[in-house]
């Protein structure tokens, strides 16, 4: 009897241990408190203080807001910001949709190789990409020089410091943010639905418009929402590539603070940008269901791919598809007459072709590949221009280089004016990665595993710095850091960089936790392991790829951060992006090309670091899965 009891412990004791574990599980939500406290001090309090500054506290006057919305010049800046953001979003959608469609149709190494052409520019510094377009589009830049050498033009074209330069630069920066959400959604669409529609006699155009396009709309909404809201607060590209007529709201706010030192009016403009961004995100996201950053489901199981239930049951699939097509509303975006004519012609042409002629679809594939190749060239063109220029033997920017030389790399590595900022950026980025990873991982675990009523509110608070313009955060955080005497210190810069870095870590780690099989934890606890031992021996090793990915992205974000640093670095402190920014504003030093080439290698090194981790486990995050 004793041996039987030893081999089979009482069920009451097992249930007691599980009950204790569940009680601790209810309190695991407290793990979000360190991150919430950090954000309350360095994010929420500065924003509230900025609001009172804009209201002329303690008098509490609305005069700055009245001035902003009543004077035509300021209203035009706001309208210009909306117009540029909307047009950039449309351009990115037009360019990004075919690329995402092609990537979703491909498999194997070719798809992974093409994904790199999207991911590497996405991870490359905003400042480096903008500098590359400045080199390309300048009056004495690469494009004008080549056109004049070939006799195409007689005088340089105005390609920069105008709306054209702003749109080219911003679309290049934002395009990966459109492609990745589209690709993620399209990978979950079963392409056999389109094939089934065509087997019913529907032409390829109608099958695409009535089947594939509606199923891809969640990706369209997510990508457009993300690109539009981030474009509203964009600063670097408009400031470098735009002219006086192309001032956007972020550039206007920076001028009010740094040049006119009008904190009241600048704070009011910053708060207007903040309210517009948050309101646009929550209102549009509420209407379309696109408020997720990839991790806000808080542990809900992901839905199976659309159409995954086919599995060879062709008759049932065709019946469901027929009902699905019957329920779809007519396309009203195009005129009814044009739509009917195009679709009927497509159906007539498709019906007259036999199977042998239908199968290749050569023209459509060639057209898709041709368009996508041009878009990929657009994405990687700055890299292929900046890197050769960094090895030029000329004393000024010239493409193609007249000869090979290491002079600009030697200038970077031997000049204390460059090495000092580079070392400071590395030091701050490392400190930011450590703090952000610790706070973000605890917060992600508490949000996904904790049980408390305000999880959605806390998640929105933690993730909101991703969409809030850095110019708003920089203006808001300057006052408190100045009061506390940490402007220009490593701690102050780290605090400013960690606001958004924590958000990236939370998104990545919580997405990893959401795909984690919790039966492994339950099995561990049923064998007598406590919650802490289970986390140490089971949970953490399996989510380690997500934690590593979050730490790497936090490091990259801090190393690349410029806008917040402009406000909190002080007079004597310079990070590497700040040093590059000042040199680019004053002169186009070829040394910047050498620094930019080194920074271009950074995302490649990151991908090499993340590859073993992603093979060891499923790492979720901004990078799409490399199958």
For 415-450, what is each residue's pLDDT tens digit?
888 899 999 999 999 999 999 999 999 999 888 887
The reported pLDDT for the residue numbered 412 is 87
| Whether the predicted pLDDT of 400 surpasses 70 | yes
Strand partners, 392: 404
| Whether the predicted pLDDT of 270 surpasses 70 | yes
| Whether the predicted pLDDT of 593 surpasses 90 | no
The reported pLDDT for the residue numbered 516 is 73
The reported pLDDT for the residue numbered 60 is 85
Q: pLDDT digits over 48-81, tens only?
A: 999 999 998 888 889 999 999 998 889 999 999 9
| Whether the predicted pLDDT of 531 surpasses 90 | no
**pTM recorded for the entire structure:** 0.78
Better pLDDT: 524 or 240:
240
The reported pLDDT for the residue numbered 350 is 52
How sure is the predictor about 87, in pLDDT bands with cuts at 50, 70 and 90? very high
The reported pLDDT for the residue numbered 613 is 54
The reported pLDDT for the residue numbered 542 is 82
Strand partners, 306: 189
Distance CA 375, CA 35 (A): 40
Instruction: Specify burial of residue 253 (Cβ count, 10 A radius: 0-12, 13-18, 19+).
Output: buried
The reported pLDDT for the residue numbered 198 is 73
| Residues 85 and 280 sit within 8 Å (Cβ to Cβ) | no
Q: What's the average model confidence in pLDDT over 554-579?
A: 89
Better pLDDT: 351 or 460:
460
The reported pLDDT for the residue numbered 28 is 73
Closest CA to 422 of 571, 565, 576: 576
DSSP 54-81: HTTTTT---HHHHHHHHSHHHHHHHHHH
How sure is the predictor about 614, in pLDDT bands with cuts at 50, 70 and 90? low
How sure is the predictor about 330, in pLDDT bands with cuts at 50, 70 and 90? very low
- DSSP 8-state secondary structure symbol assigned to residue 210: I
The reported pLDDT for the residue numbered 22 is 45
The reported pLDDT for the residue numbered 570 is 80
The reported pLDDT for the residue numbered 107 is 84
Better pLDDT: 72 or 478:
478
Give whole-number Cα distances, 232 to 155, 247, 469, 564, in Å: 34, 12, 8, 16
How sure is the predictor about 349, in pLDDT bands with cuts at 50, 70 and 90? low
Q: What's the average model confidence in pLDDT over 294-303?
A: 42
Q: What's the average model confidence in pLDDT over 238-252?
A: 86
| Residues 95 and 175 sit within 8 Å (Cβ to Cβ) | yes
The reported pLDDT for the residue numbered 261 is 86
Q: What's the average model confidence in pLDDT over 558-581?
A: 89
Closest CA to 257 of 484, 571, 471: 471
Closest CA to 216 of 351, 121, 299, 105: 105
- Give percent above pLDDT 90 in the chain: 29
Distance CA 178, CA 93 (A): 7
The reported pLDDT for the residue numbered 300 is 43
Better pLDDT: 349 or 506:
506
Better pLDDT: 57 or 183:
183
| Residues 556 and 526 sit within 8 Å (Cβ to Cβ) | no
| Whether the predicted pLDDT of 184 surpasses 50 | yes
| Whether the predicted pLDDT of 496 surpasses 50 | yes
The reported pLDDT for the residue numbered 544 is 84
Q: What's the average model confidence in pLDDT over 489-513?
A: 91
Distance CA 194, CA 263 (A): 57
Of 263-267, 390-394, 502-506, least confident by mean pLDDT is 390-394
SS3 189: strand
Q: What's the average model confidence in pLDDT over 92-106?
A: 93
| Whether the predicted pLDDT of 88 surpasses 90 | yes
The reported pLDDT for the residue numbered 320 is 47
HSE toward the beta carbon, residue 562, CA cutoff 13 A: 19
Give the count of beta carbons closer than 10 Å to the beta carbon of residue 99: 24
Computed over every residue of the chain, the mean pLDDT equals 79
Q: Could you give the domains of the chain?
A: 31-53+65-397+416-616 (1.10.3720.10)
The token duo for 434 is: 């450590």
- Radius of gyration of the chain from its Cα atoms, rounded to whole angstroms: 27
| Whether the predicted pLDDT of 334 surpasses 90 | no
Distance CA 43, CA 37 (A): 10
Q: What's the average model confidence in pLDDT over 519-532?
A: 76
Angle (CA) 237 551 479, round 5° = 55
- Biggest alpha carbon–alpha carbon distance for the chain: 102
The reported pLDDT for the residue numbered 588 is 67
Four-point Cα dihedral 236, 239, 245, 249, nearest 10 = 50
The reported pLDDT for the residue numbered 513 is 82
| Whether the predicted pLDDT of 625 surpasses 60 | no
| Whether the predicted pLDDT of 100 surpasses 90 | yes
Closest CA to 99 of 83, 115, 110: 115
The reported pLDDT for the residue numbered 77 is 92
Q: What's the average model confidence in pLDDT over 601-615?
A: 66
Better pLDDT: 187 or 11:
187
The reported pLDDT for the residue numbered 342 is 56
Distance CA 310, CA 308 (A): 6
| Whether the predicted pLDDT of 280 surpasses 80 | no
Of 105-119, 544-558, 584-598, least confident by mean pLDDT is 584-598
Angle (CA) 286 233 581, round 5° = 150
Q: What's the average model confidence in pLDDT over 362-381?
A: 87
The reported pLDDT for the residue numbered 339 is 56
Of 51-55, 125-129, 283-287, least confident by mean pLDDT is 283-287
- Give percent above pLDDT 70 in the chain: 78
- DSSP 8-state secondary structure symbol assigned to residue 442: H
Which H or E run includes 319? Answer: helix 314-327
The reported pLDDT for the residue numbered 20 is 47
Q: pLDDT digits over 151-173, tens only?
A: 888 888 888 888 899 999 999 99
The reported pLDDT for the residue numbered 296 is 41
């Amino acid at each position: 009897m004793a041996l039987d009891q030893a081999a089979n412990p009482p069920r009451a004791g097992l249930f007691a241990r599980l009950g204790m574990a569940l009680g601790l599980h209810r309190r695991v939500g407290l793990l979000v408190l360190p991150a919430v406290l950090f954000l309350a001090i360095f994010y929420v309090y500065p924003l509230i203080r900025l609001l009172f500054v804009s209201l002329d506290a303690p008098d509490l006057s609305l005069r700055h807001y009245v001035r902003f919305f009543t004077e035509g010049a300021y209203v035009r800046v706001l309208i210009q910001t909306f117009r540029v953001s909307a047009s950039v979003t449309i351009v990115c959608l037009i360019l990004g949709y075919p690329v995402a469609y092609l990537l979703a149709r491909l498999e194997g190494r070719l798809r992974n190789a093409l994904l790199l052409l999207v991911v590497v520019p996405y991870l490359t510094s905003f400042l480096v990409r903008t500098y590359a377009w400045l080199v390309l589009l300048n009056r004495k830049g690469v494009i004008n020089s080549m056109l004049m050498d070939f006799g195409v033009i007689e005088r340089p074209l105005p390609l920069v410091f105008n709306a054209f330069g702003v749109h080219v630069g911003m679309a290049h920066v934002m395009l990966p943010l459109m492609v990745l959400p589209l690709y993620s959604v399209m990978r979950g669409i079963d392409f056999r639905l389109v094939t089934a529609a065509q087997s019913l006699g529907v032409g390829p155009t109608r099958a695409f418009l009535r089947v594939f396009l509606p199923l891809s709309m969640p990706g369209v909404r997510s990508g457009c929402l993300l690109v539009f809201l981030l474009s509203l607060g964009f600063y670097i590209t408009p400031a470098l590539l735009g002219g006086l007529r192309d001032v956007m709201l972020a550039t206007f706010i920076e001028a009010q603070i740094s040049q006119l030192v009008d904190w009241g009016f600048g704070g009011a403009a910053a708060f207007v940008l903040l309210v517009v961004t948050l309101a646009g995100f929550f209102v549009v996201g509420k209407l379309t269901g696109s408020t997720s950053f990839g991790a806000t489901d808080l542990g809900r199981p992901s839905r199976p791919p659309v159409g995954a239930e086919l599995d060879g049951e062709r008759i049932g699939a065709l019946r469901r598809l027929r009902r699905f097509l019957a329920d779809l509303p007519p396309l009203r975006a195009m005129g009814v007459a044009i739509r009917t004519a195009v679709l009927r012609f497509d159906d007539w042409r498709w019906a007259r072709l036999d199977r042998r002629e239908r199968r290749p679809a050569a023209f459509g594939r060639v057209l898709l590949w041709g368009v996508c190749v041009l878009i990929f060239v657009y994405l990687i063109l700055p890299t292929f221009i900046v890197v050769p220029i960094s090895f030029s033997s000329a004393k000024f920017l010239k493409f193609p280089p007249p000869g090979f030389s290491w002079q600009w790399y030697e200038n970077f590595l031997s000049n204390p004016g460059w090495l000092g900022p580079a070392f400071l950026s590395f030091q701050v980025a490392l400190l930011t990665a450590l703090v952000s990873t610790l706070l973000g991982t605890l917060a992600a675990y508490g949000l996904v595993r904790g049980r408390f009523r305000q999880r959605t509110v806390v998640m929105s608070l933690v993730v909101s710095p991703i969409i809030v313009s850095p110019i708003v955060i920089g203006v808001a955080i300057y006052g408190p850091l100045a009061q506390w005497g940490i402007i220009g210190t490593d701690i102050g810069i780290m605090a400013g960089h960690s606001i958004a870095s924590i958000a990236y870590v939370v998104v990545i780690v919580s997405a990893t936790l959401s795909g984690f099989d919790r039966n492994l934890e339950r099995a561990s606890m049923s064998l007598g392991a406590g919650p802490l031992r289970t986390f140490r021996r089971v949970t953490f090793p399996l989510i380690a790829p997500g934690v590593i990915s979050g730490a790497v992205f936090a490091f990259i974000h801090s190393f690349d951060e410029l806008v917040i640093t402009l406000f909190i670095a002080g007079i004597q402190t310079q990070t590497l992006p700040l040093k590059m920014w000042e040199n680019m504003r004053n002169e186009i030093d070829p040394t910047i090309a050498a620094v930019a080439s080194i920074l271009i290698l950074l995302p490649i090194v990151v991908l090499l670091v993340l590859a073993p981790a992603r093979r060891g486990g499923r790492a979720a995050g901004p990078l799409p899965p490399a199958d």
